[in-house]
Amino acid sequence: MKKKITLIGAGQIGGTLAHLIALKELGNVVLFDVAAGIAKGKALDIAQSSPVNKFNIDLIGTDNYEDTKNSDVIIVTAGVPRKPGMTRDDLLGINLKIIKQVAEGIKKTSPDAFVICITNPLDVIVMALQKYSGMPKNKIVGMAGILDSSRFIYFLSQELKLPVQKIKSFVLGGHGDSMVAMLGSTEVDGKKIKELVKEGIIQKEKLEEIVERTKKGGAEIVKFLEKGSAFYAPAASGVEMAESYLKDLKKQLPCAAYLTGEYGFKEIYAGVPVIIGKSGVEKIVELDLTDEENSNFSKSIDAVKQLFDAAKKIDPKLA
């Protein structure tokens, strides 16, 4: 029996998610969007490529939550993306309203689904989605850390002229300018990055430049595109999480997860390494952080808390 994957939002990321899931035959796809035509058109277009790429899955487009019921995985991208000059936080008001509608829609029709939230501002929106839906905290997770880590690894691979597979790193904390590249645990071909700095293979200043470029990774693409924001790498990152759940791969992935005391914080979503398997977020992995990483992680959590306070001012029900 094929799994059922519902994509709430059939825009740039939603359409790319649908295509990637089809090519990997991860499950049948329901593309849901309030703009039903977009959902239906993209579902049909991807379906018509199945003879070329030899995949066999069902794809439908809809604006009716009934069509999404009993989904195994739900990936939420419903919302508005940034325009040039906007911060992720500027999207809070409008996307909170949208995520409340989405929560109402999914909690009745797919109460047992694993829900991956992508909509920005990510850390607060995923928290709101969990609160509005009341679905289990280990079954609702945010996608950001995989994207941020992937951007960091890519920039580092370009600088060192190495294949991306040779580099291991995590970017944790909030999905914003306060995100934290965990340089202490970053490895290049099995060697700690600080060894490469000592050996003069990469300058400390260049490494800091790469960290800064990663923080602004989304804005750099928004500036080029002028209309819309990144969608290929975000979609690839969301599929990585869905696949680990559906195939019980128990991959360790940086995601926005609900903390219950890990890293000294609780009752907040933040980007941390988690194990994703058939039960959802099965474990939060506590890395040994350097003093600098600990301090930067705390600052990042503070930034998330401030934005969540702003969200509670918009909707006191979130308290």
| Residues assigned a catalytic role | 175
Count of residues that bind ligand TXD according to CB under 6 A: 36
Distance CA 303, CA 280 (A): 26
Q: Does 296 bind ligand TXD (CB under 6 A)?
A: no
Q: Does 228 bind ligand TXD (CB under 6 A)?
A: yes
- What DSSP element (H or E) covers 100? helix 92-109
Q: Name the one range near ligand TXD by CB under 6 A: 90-98, 181-189, 239-247, 262-270.
A: 90-98
Q: How far is the CB of 257 from ligand TXD (least distance, A)?
A: 14
> Which residue(s) pair with 180 in the sheet?
172
Q: Are 205 and 217 contacting, i.e. CB atoms less than 8 angstroms apart?
A: no
Q: Name the one range near ligand TXD by CB under 6 A: 7-15, 181-189, 243-251, 307-315.
A: 7-15
Distance CA 186, CA 205 (A): 16
Q: Which of residues 79, 173, 271, 273 is near ligand TXD by CB under 6 A?
A: 79
Residue nearest to ligand TXD (CB): 11
Q: Which of residues 33, 240, 243, 293 is near ligand TXD by CB under 6 A?
A: 33
Q: Which residues make Cβ contacts (< 8 Å) with residue 85, sequence separation at least 6?
A: none
How many Cα neighbours within 13 Å face the side chain of 219?
14
Question: Looking only at residues 237 through 266 of this chain, which bind ligand TXD when binding is defined by CB under 6 A?
Answer: none
Q: Does 38 bind ligand TXD (CB under 6 A)?
A: yes
Distance CA 162, CA 166 (A): 7
Q: Does 34 bind ligand TXD (CB under 6 A)?
A: yes
